[in-house]
Amino acid sequence: MLKKNIKELDKKIEIARDHYDTDNYQKSIKEFNKALSLSRKFNLLNEIQYSNILSELGYAYYDSNKYSYAEEVLVKALKLNEDIDNKPVVYQMLGTVYYHLDDYKNSIKYRKLAKPLILNEYENEFGIIYELGCSYFRNSDYKLAEKNFEEFLKKYTKGTLLVWAIYFLGCTKFGLNKDKEAEKMFKLVIEKNPSDESLLIKVYYRLANLYYFNGNIKDLDFVVEKLLIISNDFYDIESILFYQILCYADKKYIKKLKYCLSEFVKRFPKSKYLIEFNEFIEINKKL
């Protein structure tokens, strides 16, 4: 009976792994859960073996974007066995799971644990440095984010993550009030990647914020024009156009203020900015 159950368990695990290898994560999850249930029923796996299968189930949940389930399973696997197989990968995956769950403190915790292990065990696997930088950035730890992005860029000189690391380094420097350095990074992204419109929108948006806060109306006009050429309805065009209006008001560019405010009201008649800054409508009426 025991041999029969062990044979059935091995078969379910093998099927689960086959499904995982062919990206059929739902069936993989189903078979891993069957295997774990069978093991619990007949006490077939020791804690170390059980934790390793749990971690594989966690990978399947992760790859099917079921992050809450992945977190639960991977944390349980680590509690059962601190020396779990593929510990660096488990740590890294948990860091990414928490990142997707907007839990940046725990994301930092596990990515910090993963970083030295991965760099020591895997050659040229520098992505963990970038990932840790992203976690620090999302947690507003800009100095540590800056340190990791700069470390990453020293090691990683080409590849898909390069321009994203430069972009996030620019965002980080903007958060540290290093505006000139931030501007330099954003312009470098444009230079290295002039055709990716989704990334260019992000870069021009960040530049628009930078120029607005520095009262640089000339460059703000330029990036707003670029944004409108790429996409006339991107996710936050409303705030950028209002930044432009505020700059015109600050600089007392009356003709431009009048025209842009009029166009803004037509386009966003119920804008929260018009409610919050109603005085600009009153100025426009008096012009």
Q: Which domains does the chain have, with CATH numbers?
A: 1-85 (1.25.40.10), 95-156 (1.25.40), 166-235 (1.25.40.10), 245-287 (no CATH)
E-assigned strand segments in 4-112: none
What pLDDT score was predicted for residue 67? 97
Structure-token pair, residue 203: 């870069």
Structure-token pair, residue 238: 């409303």
What pLDDT score was predicted for residue 234? 73
What pLDDT score was predicted for residue 249? 80
Sequence-distant (≥ 6) Cβ neighbours of residue 57 within 8 angstroms? 29, 32, 33, 36, 73
Q: What is the pTM of this model?
A: 0.89
Mean pLDDT by 10 residues, the chain (287 residues): 86 96 97 94 91 96 97 96 91 97 98 95 90 98 98 92 97 98 98 91 94 93 92 81 86 85 88 72 55
Q: Return d(Cα 83, Cα 48) in angstroms, integer.
A: 9
Q: What type of residue is 118?
A: I
Task: List the one residue out of 151, 135, 142 whose CA is nearest residue 99.
Answer: 135
> Max Cα separation, the chain?
92
Structure-token pair, residue 200: 């260019």
Q: Return d(Cα 160, Cα 38) in angstroms, integer.
A: 43
Structure-token pair, residue 110: 């596990």
Task: List the one residue out of 77, 82, 134, 143 whose CA is nearest residue 111.
Answer: 134
Q: Return d(Cα 69, Cα 26) in angstroms, integer.
A: 13
What pLDDT score was predicted for residue 232? 74
What pLDDT score was predicted for residue 281? 54
Kindly report the number of other CB atoms within 10 A of residue 186's CB atom: 25
